[in-house]
Structure 1
Amino acid sequence: MYWIIALIIYVLIAIGMVISLLVNGIKPAKTLAWLLTIFTIPIGGILLYWMIGRNRKKYSWKDIQEDIAINNYLKKIQENKDAAETVEMEAEEYSKITHLVEKNNGFKPTKNNEVKLLKDGKATFDAIFKALESADKYIYLLYYIFEEGELADRLIALFDEKVKKGVKVKIIYDGVGSYSLSKRYITQLKSIGVEVYPFLPFKLGRFLASINYRNHRKIIIVDGKIAFTGGINISDKYLKGDLVLGKWHDMHIQLRGASVLELQVVFEIDWFLVSGDNSELNRDLPSLEEKVGNQIVQIVYGGPDDYFSPIGQTYFAMINNAKKYIYITNPYIIPGTAILRSLEVAANSGVDVRLLVSANADSTLVNWSVRSYFETFLRAGVKIYLFPKGFLHSKIIVSDDNLVSIGTANMDIRSFEQNYEVNALVYDQKTALLLKQDFLNEIDQSIPLDYETFMNRPYLEKIKEGFAKIFSPLL
């Protein structure tokens, strides 16, 4: 008797989820994948959908963000002549992308910025600690992974010194990405006067509703004058490597100029979400230094509560906009239909499309899923290179010697629709040429894939890739 009641309840729940998918499902492939999951994995399929399949836009914080943070704060920036160093991009090759980002985020390109490329952990943390040591007003940090170790110990010692001198220190860490961060360390941060909050931490009442939505951003702001973002987390593995993958390679950037204020807006939105404190949104803006550089930068950010995918659309626009070449470095290229087709069209149209992917991976299932698209890419003429030395974690796009994207977002559905991400677009020939040369140097050390050879890979590999590809819309 009881099992019949349980079965009826289960069927009703499953039917309810199916109706929800049919009504709210936007992408047929993803909808079909969830329908198969629900009906082929009893109970587990429903739990998986509840955890990672529901449409975040139906449980949106977007109104709070726009009304309290974006609209008011951006209006304040635009009214402040000292801080509003925006520029209208008149060149047709740029205008569509800049207008797209502005419509999605409200951020215009800013001029007179200084962009410094920071390759790998040592260069990045040398620059970060130098900037932190110069702070005299405030330090803001937001990280997906914040791990204890030598870097964390150096940070807490520096924070202790700075707080005693009146510097305000605020930290946001992701509740899942930084799961190993101990209560002892967090208590120590609070004891020295650091304000620290987790982003969507593990809580029994909302575990299933929030587990899939992570803050993957990496941001540091120092006094509103210097900012950092990119792929590097607070982890000793960026200096020492790890036993499994070896050395971690990544790209970060240091920004000075008006673009720092755009990154600061992103941090302050997230701070309001985790703390409920909107005082930072109401204070006066920091005054900008005199012209610090000649580079144009535009910040683009996105999350699961966006009705469009700002970063996904930006990647799509960059690929479609490329005339001569587009070089992409990313460890997780699991494209949706739009990105897949845009890369195919670009390559078939004569654009030099090259992908640089790590030969080593930190997830077996994700690695199979990434490789499941190689055959399609190679058939279209996309050139693929596997970087064999350690783990390549950079998220970089460089195109036509004039446009660069560097940030936290991978080229996958998760980064487009489920994670909170942030990238910097740099409209600058010097930066593009530096990254282009770096890309060419990296592929010289990498393994090029050939279509005919790849087609002859072991049949078992094809089965693994096919299995992973079925679930790629869910990864």
Structure 2
Amino acid sequence: MVDVEAGALILVALHAVIVFIATVYLSANRRPSAAIAWVLAIIFIPYLGALVFLLIGVGRLPRSRREKQREVNELIMARTDGLDQVGHRDEWPEWLGSAARLNRNLGALPMVGGNRIELLPDYEGSIASMVAAVDEATEFVHVQFYILVLDTVTQPFFDALARAIQRGVSVHVLSDYLACLMLPRRKETIAAFAEMGAEWRALLPLRFWRGQWRRPDMRNHRKLLVVDGRVGFTGSQNMIDSTYLKPGNLKRGLHWHELMMRLEGPAVRELNAVFLADWYSETDEMLPIDTSPVVLPAATDLLDAQVLPSGPSFDNDNNLKLYAMLIHKAERRVSITSPYFVPEESTMLAIVTAASRGVQVELFASAIGDQALVYHAQRSYYEELLRAGVAIYLYREPTVLHAKHFTIDDDVSVVGSSNMDIRSFSLNMEVSVLVHGAEFVQRMRAVQDEYRSNSRRVELADWLDRPTGAKVFDNLARLTSSLQ
């Protein structure tokens, strides 16, 4: 009996020591909400909470990776000198110049003029547009997708890559290690790249036997394609069938709705810089950087754009700072589309404040979700948003609205891979594009109008009347969002 009591006391003492050490460690350089959530997890789930923290609560990407990103940015900026002066600065809102400086100071490239941008809201249509661009490649093709799978829908894209290689074009490919490991046809996909002669590498591999291990929930979530430094694509869409080939999705009839964009102009070189930095980080190989003069497209509908890479390869949550600033600067309208809406405190405050001061704020999300915890966590924010006057539209099932973008007033837009959630702000490597142009915002509004026509608006009274069990589940799921 004495030995049992002594053992119990030792365990209690050990737990107390773990809690004390964790509290001191967690309080440094971490958001208070995240620190408190981890401390509570360690207190109420003894030992298991500490084990989970050691697995996903510790560490960032190495400083060497951040240095490589800065090195590539500097090389690109040296070759785009003066392009930040080409554009429509006289038409910018008064605050946009400071937003562009903020982005550049936090790790992005300059705001450059002379760009043409086409919106691609059709899933298979965007793949067809990428196939057409690859078929015109003469020098190189750089491919990077969070999820990249060979299937019946993406087969034409793989065929185009093979044709490009046969013409003598170099093809380099990146895809996220863990994301593709969890989906079907991984072996067939890698074999296809090997057979065609493409250079493929996994992003952020988790292979401890090779010394490749890091916090596993930090992923490279970027989606981009660059052809000859002339044409670029980026947005929310992965290179996979719109059902993601998951049995559960097929059974429920789910399919994903996205928004990609096709770019021409100086911003394409900035987009290529994101790929070059990621390739350099994974392989220690610096691919050739285009040093030829930048030729502006011969068109009148040219736009100013700035590519913003973000994530744990940077020292700051740079997309979070940009998003919060843009919402605070809005004077008339903010339209947000985010399939996973679990905002950090400053973003939520900016949205609620904007609505409270009379700005028309609307949020587009899905009526259904593919990730239960995130789906229920985001629902826990709806009441506060509705009470502040935010209009919430839920895109009707069986479509999962996966597009990620927002517009500010009449002439500023952000489109990319980043959700408005804590994961995209701190844990995922993302890429977004800040665009200035009234005509471009009008095209974005047309996309948002389509969302609205296919959505159900959430009313506060109905939301408050939802079942008690759903409210409990939503609020409990919200607690997990701070474990970062």
TM over 0.5: yes
Alignment of 1:215-364 (within 5 A): 215-237=220-242, 242-244=250-252, 246-281=254-289, 284-285=291-292, 287-288=294-295, 290-292=297-299, 293-364=301-372
8 Å contact 1:85–1:258 — kept in the other structure? Answer: no
Instruction: Note the C-alpha offset of 1:58.
Output: 7.0
Alignment of 1:137 with 2:139, yes or no, is: yes
> In the superposition, relative to structure 1, how do residues 171 and 432 fare at CA in structure 2: closer, same or farther (>3 Å)?
same
Alignment of 1:404 with 2:413, yes or no, is: yes
8 Å contact 2:243–2:254 — kept in the other structure? Answer: no
8 Å contact 2:310–2:319 — kept in the other structure? Answer: yes
Task: Tell me the number of residue pairs that the alignment of Structure 1 and Structure 2 aligns.
Answer: 469
Q: Indicate the larger mover: 197-206 or 270-279.
A: 197-206
8 Å contact 1:245–1:362 — kept in the other structure? Answer: no
Alignment of 1:437 with 2:446, yes or no, is: yes
The CA deviation string for residues 362-414 of structure 1, in whole angstroms up to 9 with x for no partner, is: 11111110100000101111111111141100111012121111110000011
Instruction: Note the C-alpha offset of 1:428.
Output: 0.9
Partner of 1:48: 52
Partner of 1:370: 378
The CA deviation string for residues 182-214 of structure 1, in whole angstroms up to 9 with x for no partner, is: 234313312322000001122135676231110
The CA deviation string for residues 421-458 of structure 1, in whole angstroms up to 9 with x for no partner, is: 01111111111012113312321331111112211211
Partner of 1:75: 78
Instruction: Note the C-alpha offset of 1:276.
Output: 1.0
Q: Distance in 1 between matches of 2:57 and 2:253?
A: 30
Q: Distance in 1 between matches of 2:371 and 2:23?
A: 30
Q: Distance in 2 between matches of 1:188 and 1:220?
A: 18
Partner of 2:162: 160
Partner of 1:392: 401
8 Å contact 2:59–2:215 — kept in the other structure? Answer: no
Instruction: Note the C-alpha offset of 1:119.
Output: 0.5
Q: Distance in 2 between matches of 1:399 and 1:238?
A: 31
Partner of 2:125: 123
Q: Secondary structure at the match of 1:61?
A: helix
Q: Distance in 2 between matches of 1:319 and 1:84?
A: 24
Root-mean-square deviation (Å): 2.5
Instruction: Note the C-alpha offset of 1:323.
Output: 0.8
> In the superposition, relative to structure 1, how do residues 245 and 11 fare at CA in structure 2: closer, same or farther (>3 Å)?
farther
Q: Distance in 2 between matches of 1:400 and 1:381?
A: 17
TM-score w.r.t. structure 2 length? 0.90
**Candidates 200, 210, 220, aligned match of 1:196:** 200
Instruction: Note the C-alpha offset of 1:172.
Output: 0.3
**Candidates 109, 113, 116, aligned match of 1:114:** 116
The CA deviation string for residues 131-169 of structure 1, in whole angstroms up to 9 with x for no partner, is: 111111110001001123124433333222211211000
Q: Distance in 2 between matches of 1:192 and 1:24?
A: 47
8 Å contact 1:224–1:286 — kept in the other structure? Answer: no
**Candidates 185, 210, 226, aligned match of 2:215:** 210
> In the superposition, relative to structure 1, how do residues 439 and 188 fare at CA in structure 2: closer, same or farther (>3 Å)?
closer
Amino acid at match of 2:69: Q
Structure 1 unmatched runs, 5+: none
8 Å contact 2:309–2:429 — kept in the other structure? Answer: yes
Amino acid at match of 2:443: L
Instruction: Note the C-alpha offset of 1:103.
Output: 1.6
> In the superposition, relative to structure 1, how do residues 385 and 188 fare at CA in structure 2: closer, same or farther (>3 Å)?
closer
Q: Secondary structure at the match of 1:117?
A: strand
Q: Secondary structure at the match of 1:435?
A: helix
Q: Distance in 2 between matches of 1:55 and 1:185?
A: 31
Q: Indicate the larger mover: 10-19 or 349-358.
A: 10-19
> In the superposition, relative to structure 1, how do residues 277 and 12 fare at CA in structure 2: closer, same or farther (>3 Å)?
farther
> In the superposition, relative to structure 1, how do residues 60 and 459 fare at CA in structure 2: closer, same or farther (>3 Å)?
farther
Amino acid at match of 2:414: S
> In the superposition, relative to structure 1, how do residues 89 and 20 fare at CA in structure 2: closer, same or farther (>3 Å)?
farther
TM-score w.r.t. structure 1 length? 0.92
Instruction: Note the C-alpha offset of 1:359.
Output: 0.3
8 Å contact 1:51–1:212 — kept in the other structure? Answer: no
| Overall identity of the aligned pairs, in % | 26
